[in-house]
Amino acid sequence: MNQEVFAAVADALDRAEPAALVTIISTTGSTPQRVGAKMLVFADGRMVGTIGGGCYENDAFWKAREAITNRRPQLVHYQLDDDFAQETGLICGGQMSVYIEPIEPSPELYVVGAGHVGFHLANLAHEVGFRVHVVDDREKFANTERFPHAASVVTEDIPAWIERTALPAHAYVVIVTRGHNNDLDALRALAPRDLRYLGLIGSRAKVARIYDALTSEAMPAALLKEVHAPIGLDIGAVTPQEIAVSILAELIAVKHGKVKSRDAAELSMKWHNLKV
């Protein structure tokens, strides 16, 4: 049975589909399954494998769904007492502990803009485990020679690419294009998307101008509130390399649940006249 679960885990990772793995890690007394029994739970309710059935498996199922959403593991203890036996029809009388861990694919990072900051960010992000995609409309900047470790390098009109490309909900996207108008076009197309992270580079004044422009186009304020802008943690960065580090630090913080939504604004860079 676990072989089927392991195959399903590998398949989920290949498809970049989040799931949660439930494993029995300890038992005492009589239990319906042994230590090591596993069950894989998907966000849409599909299950592969079993930890024994009954109400405790149902409880673990829902806790696994929660783990997919909040991306935090849980250790859960079950007392398989007389009440449990009466409810499920299983005569056990033992105790069981299960470990529930979210299974996530390598985070997908889309770097929209292949200039100096985008170049350093893509290289650094690859080193810490992000699967990097680079998008720019300039072949001079967006090519595999500059980004040999990128999963994909796209040379295309940015708004057109965004329009035709479905980005996964677990994707991280940073907008670091070469100019105000390019940033505006990219944010207009990306803000309505369901993404793990969306960040926009620039000074507070530049961000305010872009937000004003989008608000005048009737973009809901709630969408803009979710954008990390100005992008990056405030570490006093000046050079493109340092700015890339500040952005990557924020991405890692979001990945591990240390920074959420616009909480990042309090930690954001206070840049002035930044050029990408």
pLDDT tens profile 75-111: 999 887 655 555 544 445 678 899 999 998 888 999 9
pLDDT in tens, 216-268: 999 999 999 999 999 999 999 999 999 999 999 999 999 888 776 444 334 33
**Burial 8-24, CB ≥16 within 10 A → b, else e:** bbeebeeeebbbbbbbb
Q: Which CATH number describes the domain made up of 108-267?
A: 3.40.50.720
Mean pLDDT throughout 186-201? Answer: 95
C-alpha to C-alpha distances, 140 to 87, 123, 124, 147, 187, nearest whole angstrom: 67, 17, 20, 12, 23
Residue 221 DSSP SS3: helix
Quick one: what percent of the chain has pLDDT higher than 70?
89
Where in the chain are all domains bearing CATH 3.40.50.720?
A: 108-267
- What rounded mean pLDDT belongs to the chain? 87
pLDDT at residue 61 is higher than 60:
yes
pTM of the shown model: 0.75
Q: Which of 45-54, 172-181, 264-273 has the lowest mean pLDDT?
A: 264-273
Q: Give mean pLDDT, residues 60-68.
A: 93
pLDDT at 31: 78
Query: Which pLDDT value is given to residue 263?
Result: 42
Question: What distance in Å separates the CA atoms of residue 113 and residue 177, rounded to the nearest whole number?
Answer: 4
Instruction: Lowest mean pLDDT of 68-82, 118-132, 148-162, name the range.
Output: 68-82
What is the arrangement of strands in the sheet containing 95-103, beginning at the earlier edge strand?
Answer: 47-49, 38-42, 19-28, 95-103, 74-79
Q: How many angstroms separate the most distant Cα atoms in the chain?
A: 71
Q: Please give the pLDDT value at position 93.
A: 60
- pLDDT for 8-28, tens place per residue? 999 988 887 889 999 999 998
- Strand order, beta sheet including 108-112: 152-155, 131-136, 108-112, 172-175, 197-200
DSSP string, 116-178: HHHHHHHHHHHHTT-EEEEEES-TTTSSTTT-TT-SEEEES-HHHHHHH-PPPTT-EEEE--S
Residue 94 has a pLDDT of: 76
What integer pLDDT is reported at residue 266 of this predicted model? Answer: 40
Q: Among 179, 121, 134, which residue's Cα sits nearest to residue 161?
A: 134
Task: Report the DSSP beta bridge partners of residue 108.
Answer: 131
Rounded to an integer, what distance in angstroms lies between the CA atom of residue 136 and that of residue 265?
A: 26
> Using CA of residue 32, residue 46, residue 194, residue 138, what is the dihedral sign?
positive
CA angle 189-198-275, nearest 5°? Answer: 85
Q: What is the average pLDDT across 55-73?
A: 89
